Structure 1
């Protein structure tokens, strides 16, 4: 992984944490994801005239990815409704890198070296540690944790599907544009069918925030897909999940969730895991 690719993924991590925080901060999650999806679709529509269409062999991956992303968004909305941002977000993101490593080895035949494998495991341990720091001594919120774990598994699934699809597309920009416009329109359409006349009233007060979240979501995943054309899937997935550290800082600053020493230790583990993943050996 070159410094340019690593920098792009780290930027994606920060923007990803930001749009998730925006979505979590909007009380009505259907409204939040309608705006995020719509904002991403608008950005994609602006991109498509300047991008070549993906090759035909990439379309099955695009279709599968859209379906997996819908499951991901449903589970993420449920996790955000049931749990604290500072816990469900890191669990979801912490599960994903290990699952991506396994799926990439099974289906893409990308087997990381020893340093990279240890790095993914160390970083994932740190990511989950960010979430679990405050659970001792109180009853776990099992429904929220189950939704977060399910979210992490869908993240791993679409990461691998898109990693193969964007490489077969012949046009990374075209793949990114069509993926985000197709998936971005589904939830707004479902929200309109469910709410009809009430939807516009609910959207208006938070429209600016939600559309900003959509633009950030577009940028975050676009950068990751580009990076996947230039590096193996597992280290890109693990490096992307440093968004959890940004998410923990956001939870502290904006949602008044305590950061604490355990989260600091978890952050050190994440940084150490990244260093191992980038080890040349």
Structure 2
């Protein structure tokens, strides 16, 4: 992986942490996620309509991606209703690269070196260390099944989108159509299940939702593009360095504690990133 791709993925990681923080700021997490999903549709269309139309086989990948993103968003919002950003985010993101790596061993043609595998494992362990407080500090453990469900969905859509973008040959257009399908499916599904009252009425929520949507597109478009030119498992692992940004945002914006355990976990994550560059 070149330095340019590495820096691009790290920038995407920051954007990912940012839109999660914006979702966390809302009083209604599901309402904030619905607004984000509504915003994804025009954002996706604005990009998709400037690109060539996808071939027929690409739409199957887009449909599969939209389905897994629906479950990812559902589990994530339910987890955020029960825990802090700096606890939910590490669990939700930490297990995903490990799952991608294990599955990728038998399903992907990519070549990943032994130091890179070691870096991926260290990244995963460091991120999971961030979540240790849910056990040691008596926090709400009901967040765990939802955070783990989000991690499983993340692993699924990472594999789907990495391969789907390669089949498409146009990562930017592919992600744009995923946003259209995913945003429409989640917004419509949530309104049908919960009613129209799930939508917040204040302008601030809508403004934050559209900012989060733009950050979400930027983060994911860069990541999927990187998966077309670098090993999927490696990109998936580097994306999870977003936990560093999430912890800092949680500390500076939400007043969450910066403990020694969190600092040690952050150092472990940085060491994992260094190993992936060997």
What is the CA deviation profile of residues 183-209 of structure 1, one whole-angstrom value per residue up to 9, with x for unaligned ones? 01122223443433x456535341111
Report the TM-score when normalising by structure 1.
Answer: 0.93
Alignment match, 1:45: 45
Alignment match, 1:147: 146
Q: Is the 8 A contact 1:116 1:235 kept in 2?
A: yes
For residue 23 of structure 1, report the CA deviation from its aligned partner.
Answer: 0.4
Q: Is the 8 A contact 1:96 1:156 kept in 2?
A: yes
Q: Is the 8 A contact 1:104 1:111 kept in 2?
A: no
For residue 52 of structure 1, report the CA deviation from its aligned partner.
Answer: 1.2
Alignment match, 1:95: 95
For residue 116 of structure 1, report the CA deviation from its aligned partner.
Answer: 0.9
Over 3 Å counting, the alpha-carbon distance change for 1:205 and 1:230 in structure 2 is same
Alignment match, 1:265: 264
Matched, 1:218 2:217: yes
- The 1-side partners of 2:183 and 2:59 are apart by 17
Alignment match, 1:171: 170
What is the CA deviation profile of residues 39-97 of structure 1, one whole-angstrom value per residue up to 9, with x for unaligned ones? 22221111112111222222221111111110111100111111111101111111011
Runs of 4+ in 1 over 6 A off after TM superposition: none
Alignment match, 1:204: 203
Over 3 Å counting, the alpha-carbon distance change for 1:141 and 1:18 in structure 2 is same
Q: Is the 8 A contact 1:35 1:203 kept in 2?
A: no
For residue 13 of structure 1, report the CA deviation from its aligned partner.
Answer: 0.3
Q: Is the 8 A contact 1:37 1:185 kept in 2?
A: yes
Over 3 Å counting, the alpha-carbon distance change for 1:210 and 1:26 in structure 2 is same
Within 5 A, what are the aligned runs for 1:90-129?
90-110=90-110, 112-129=112-129
Q: Is the 8 A contact 1:80 1:88 kept in 2?
A: yes
What is the CA deviation profile of residues 200-244 of structure 1, one whole-angstrom value per residue up to 9, with x for unaligned ones? 653534111111111111111111111111100111011000000
| Structure 1 segments unaligned to the other structure (5+ residues) | none
Greater Cα offset, 228-237 or 184-193 = 184-193
For residue 170 of structure 1, report the CA deviation from its aligned partner.
Answer: 2.1
Greater Cα offset, 211-220 or 49-58 = 49-58
| Structure 2 segments unaligned to the other structure (5+ residues) | none
Q: Is the 8 A contact 1:55 1:170 kept in 2?
A: no
Matched, 1:77 2:77: yes
- The 2-side partners of 1:178 and 1:203 are apart by 28
- The 2-side partners of 1:133 and 1:270 are apart by 17
Over 3 Å counting, the alpha-carbon distance change for 1:265 and 1:199 in structure 2 is closer
Alignment match, 2:181: 182
- Aligned residue-pair number: 277
Measured on the aligned residues, the alpha-carbon RMSD in Å equals 1.6
What is the CA deviation profile of residues 104-133 of structure 1, one whole-angstrom value per residue up to 9, with x for unaligned ones? 122213352210111011111111112214
Report the TM-score when normalising by structure 2.
Answer: 0.94
